Amino acid sequence: MTVALFPPITHGVASLDAEPLDVGPRFVRTGGMSRWHRPRSGVLMDTRRIYSVWCGQHVGGSRRAGQLLTAETIPDTLPVCATCDGRAVGTGQETDGPAGRTLLHGPRGLTPPRHCPASRMDLFEALPGGTTGRCLACQDVHPIRAMGGPYASRVGIVQHPPGEALFAPCPFHRWRHPTRDREGRLACMCGRPLTTPQ
């Protein structure tokens, strides 16, 4: 049995060689770990599967740490990381947490942002007249304004809520770092193209 994994959100630059995994084992650990962990997300890099677990560690990325071990169930006599267990159950990824307790956890970055990520940036296509622009991130039309003051002046689209055509999130950076690629199209800072619904 497998579990649905969350996107492998990162604050750093993601490798373009890595592929995000949608499903993974219920429990993971290496031979050197003292307890079993629940995977939050995972990537396939070359032929290695690397899992980020809910407590913040990574499992499977280092050859020195020992062989990656996976399991569907864990006997009651073996320890399971409480942080991983509570967060996996609290998000709804798992349902078999500690009996009699309600656990909740709301990971950041999984829901669309309150403001369009292109707000106050030059990620727009100017429309005739020069006072409005079509947002590259959500396709809505909004005013463009001078911003930044006298020493760092620039032009950007005003802050606005994301439109219904907000781009599909990057599997590693979600909606956090939109930019333009060399051809002027919308892309993530890691180089992955970002597409809006048609």
Per-domain residue ranges of the chain: 2-90, 124-188
What is the C-alpha end-to-end distance of the chain, expressed in Å? 36
Model confidence over 51-64: pLDDT tens digits? 999 988 888 876 66
Model confidence over 13-43: pLDDT tens digits? 666 678 889 999 999 998 888 888 999 999 9
> Which of helix, strand or coil describes residue 88?
helix
**Alpha-carbon distances, residue 85 vs 21, 61, 79, 82, 148 (angstroms):** 20, 21, 11, 5, 46
Model confidence over 69-92: pLDDT tens digits? 888 887 777 788 888 888 888 888
